Structure 1
Amino acid sequence: MKRILENPSSISEVGFFSRLRQTRRCIKRIHSEKCDESKIDSTLPMVSVMLITYNHEKYIEQAMSSILAQECDFDIEINVIDDCSTDNTQSIVEAYQKQYPEIINCYFNQQNVGHIATQLNTFRGFQTLRGKYFCILEGDDFWTSPEKLKKQVGFLEENQEYAACAHDTLKVFEDGREPEHFLPFKSFGRNRVSMFDLVTMAGAFHVSSIVYRNKFGLNPPQCLADPYSCEITVNMVYGQFGDFFCLNEYMSAYRVHGGGTFSSRSLEEHWLFHLHGYQRFFMYLGHRYWMMFARAVVGFSKYVLTAYKKGVCDKLKHSSTLTFMIHYFVASLMVGVNCFSKFRLLKTDKARFKQLFVLNSVRLYYAIATRIPKPVRQLLRPIKRLLVNKFHAVKSSKR
């Protein structure tokens, strides 16, 4: 049976602070509850698969077939969350639903919400997840191994301390280029991924590769509907409840094509999107993770501000440069103040306070100096000489 979801509230009706209050209450409730597996309804599916679609008629059959091909000894459900596609996506999905009515549930929006924020459609999917575990697949991506769910669910069943299980993902190209490794970053090199790794994006996974424990059931936190939510921030939300584990095996593919929401964006747009995501989820997740976010913003902003000189990207727009510089400065200040208050350096260790102040001043100077015009840099040369001399003095005193 086709299930039509109600139209979502507009961004103006459900504002940031409303989402913030609901999210904080929701997370607090989950932290205070103790999960009793004996109370889990055995009639419900073990895994809920959220299939997100919008005008994916060229790709949806491959995505659907890759889910139905899973070899597992437990029940699954496939919840198709379609954002009012204007092509034949819904017809193709309905044909599959008639073949597998006990597995496939169709949730079709009556009007498109992606023009507001694609996360509103995804949030609808979070409200349909009945399984003990869940995973997300976008209609233009697909799974490459029929044993994917069996391996990941088996791992999570045996290792209760983990919140999710991921694996390697291939990037495939519509123009026929050879597939290549996508995520996680090869430089990361570890299987166990902590909350700090998720926040700093050192441990990053594509959404098609992850199976999560369904901590929130049918009542997800509204931060997942935020316009700056994505798989990175979803991982942060679930990373509060345990580490992630990565299986060293390719079992999903991310497709790059011109119609993709993210693959069509520039690198600068990606970076700004993630920076705004840090801003929002810094508040959603609460003070417990503030310093973690501050350190992540320092590292991320520093990388972006020096990316042009390293040949990573084109020169940033002036507005983007200013945005990242401000975030770098404020986050650095937060980290510095936290260090001073943590060790009470202002009162008990003035020498260490001086060390940290000089070292951070030098770092801040170089971060700013690389982005300002040459005539202004010449005026700042006396300050530069003073800081460098102090820096070398501090370095020699630490030996």
Structure 2
Amino acid sequence: MPIEINNSEDLMVTICCTAYNHEPYIRQCLEGFVMQKANFHFEAIVHDDASTDGTAAIIQEYAEKYPNIIKPIYETENQYSKKNGSLAKIMNEHMHGKYIAMCEGDDYWIDPLKLQKQVDFLEQNLDYVFCCHRYKIYDENEMVFRKEYGYDYYEKNNNLSIDNVLFLKVWVTQYCTSLFRRELYLKTYEALCRDGFNGRDVYLYYYLLKYGKGLSLNDFMAVYRWHNGGMAGCITLKQKRKVAYDIYLPLYRQHTSDIYLREKAVNSLLKYMQQCDMSLKQKWRLLMEGFDLSESFVERIKLSISFILPTGIFNWLYHLSEIRRNHRNLLTQ
């Protein structure tokens, strides 16, 4: 369904929100948009992907109450399931702000100055390609908040500068925290399509960081939700290892000069090979693939041990240095 386009030259931010069967969460998400306090104009493109629950009705309620902010798109046919990039194309066509913010319908913002802080930073620091910030993880199954993945990389009250080296070490951001420069975002999207990579936030950030640095503000301004209906909440550890392997191996084969990406690819393969339900033939294929990627004797030894040893023993050896470090820390306390 077409929506009214905001052609205002002073439109600073377009918020892109995709929702599907998010009835329990979408209201909290939309409240995070409309509570923003900023000295610039912003809009929220909220795309309902043919939900079968009450998501669309809640979006419509907010669109009627906040017509200058909430711009809805309602689908009669689910676009995400087509797996042909149609959802991304629809959203990209409606990006008119100088900057692009992201937030999926099951996540939400908790700081009314989030957009203002991020825009202020990017306006004053042209060498940075995106600005994100810290976030909380809400585990809905356990009903507790958990620390974000890169929490121990922040020093005192300092912000965290992000390059591809750090990005490949630790996942420090989420879509719901990020503000992108629109022109660079669309340029990156075109490059991803050209290289056959799309649909993964890993690819987006990796390609974006080729143009410059990112910055994570040391402020908690969003909540990333784990729940059974979401990607993070319904995937097992084994599946996560398979996903990482499927992401980083093809990415490295496209960017073989990146030594840090090669290391990430080898480690992803190493962990994936430790699946207890994997056949000997599958393990052998992965071992040969790992040998082809590895450039050090130590890596090949690790791969060989992973091939031979049962999962539990290998995992203990793989994390032995971390176990020793934690033990030393306990002794010194």
Shorter-chain-normalised TM-score: which range? 0.7 to 0.9
Q: Is the 8 A contact 1:228 1:280 kept in 2?
A: no
Whichever residue aligns with residue 3 of structure 1, its letter is P
Residue 43 of structure 2, aligned match among 60, 66, 77: 77
Residue number among 304, 309, 327 corresponding to 1:368 in the alignment? 304
Confirm or deny: 8 A CA contact 1:168 1:183 kept in the other structure: no
One of 30, 34, 38 as aligned partner of 1:68 = 34
Q: CA deviation digits over 1:297-354, x for unaligned, max 9?
A: 123334555xx6xxxxx7353377456534432222xxx4xxxxxxxxxxxxxxxxxx
Partner of 1:3: 2
Distance across 1 between alignment mates of 2:249 and 2:217: 31
- The Cα shift of 1:364 comes to 0.5
Deviation at 1:180, TM superposition (A): 1.5
Q: Secondary structure at the match of 1:140?
A: coil
Q: Which protein has the larger Cα radius of gyration, Structure 1 or Structure 2?
A: 1
- 2:22 match: secondary structure: coil
Instruction: Give the drift of 1:197.
Output: 2.3
How far did 1:366 drift? 3.5
Counterpart code for 1:221: E
DSSP 3-state at the match of 2:204 = helix
Gaps (5+ residues) in structure 1?
Answer: 5-40, 309-313, 337-359, 375-399
Q: CA shift at 1:282, angstroms?
A: 4.1
Give distance in 2, aligned partners of 1:209 and 1:146: 13
Kindly state the Cα deviation for residue 184 of structure 1 after the two structures are TM-superposed. 2.7
Contact persistence 1:165–1:212 (CA under 8 A): yes
Shift of 1:216: 4.4
Query: Is the counterpart of residue 331 in structure 1 residue 331 in structure 2?
Result: no
* Range 92-101 or range 178-187, more displaced: 178-187
Residues 186 and 105 (structure 1), Cα distance of their counterparts in 2 relative to 1, 3 Å cut: same
Query: 5+ residue gaps in structure 2?
Result: 311-333
Q: Which residue of 2 aligns with 1:221?
A: 190
- More off after superposition, 275-284 vs 242-251: 275-284
Offset of 1:372 from its aligned partner? 2.4
Equivalent-residue separation in structure 1 for 2:142 and 2:246 (angstroms): 34
2:211 to 226, 229, 241: 241
Q: Deviations over 1:249-289 (max 9, x none)?
A: 111001111111332111222222232222444466x56x5
Q: RMSD across aligned C-alpha pairs, in angstroms?
A: 3.0
The number of aligned residues is 301
Contact 2:29-2:109 within 8 A present in 1 as well = yes
Deviation at 1:108, TM superposition (A): 2.4
Which amino acid letter does the alignment assign opposite residue 331 of structure 1?
L
Question: How far apart, in 2, do the equivalents of 1:120 and 1:270 lie?
Answer: 26
* Separation in structure 1 between the aligned mates of residue 184 and residue 165 of structure 2, nearest angstrom: 22
Q: For 1:101-121, what per-residue CA distance to the aligned partner results, in whole angstroms no more than 9, with x for missing partners?
A: 232222223311333449652
Match of residue 346 from structure 1: none
Q: Which of 58, 65, 74 is the equivalent residue of 2:24?
A: 58
Task: Report the AA paired with residue 147 of structure 1.
Answer: L
Cα deviation digits, residues 14-47 of structure 1 (max 9, x gap): xxxxxxxxxxxxxxxxxxxxxxxxxxx8625211
TM-score when scaled to structure 2? Answer: 0.79
Amino acid in the other structure paired with 2:72 = C
State whether residues 193 and 203 of structure 1, in contact with CA within 8 Å, keep that contact through their aligned partners in structure 2: no
1:107 match: 73
Describe the SS at the equivalent of 2:215: strand
Deviations 1:374-397 (A, max 9, x none): 9xxxxxxxxxxxxxxxxxxxxxxx
What is the CA distance between 1:87 and its match in structure 2?
A: 1.2
Partner of 2:160: 191
Q: 1:224 & 1:62 partners in 2: Cα distance?
A: 33
The Cα offsets for residues 170-224 of structure 1, whole Å up to 9 and x where unpaired, read as 11122453211123342576711112322x2425311111111112476742736
Sequence identity of aligned pairs in percent?
A: 23
Partner of 1:211: 179
Which among 231, 245, 261 is matched to residue 275 of structure 1? 245
State the match for 2:110 in structure 1: 144
Is 2:294 aligned against 1:294?
no
CA contact (8 A) 2:23 2:54 kept: yes
- Which residue matches 1:386? none
Distance of aligned partners of 1:277 and 1:174 in 2 relative to their CA distance in 1, 3 Å threshold: same
Q: Aligned partners of 2:203 and 2:197: how far apart in 1?
A: 11
Q: d(CA) in 1 for partners of 2:110 and 2:84?
A: 25
Name the stretch that deviates more: 71-80 or 182-191. Answer: 182-191
- For 1:271 and 1:323, the matched residues in 2 are separated by 16
Structure 1 pair 172–237 and aligned structure 2 pair: CA distance change class (3 A)? same
The secondary structure found in structure 2 opposite 1:182 is coil
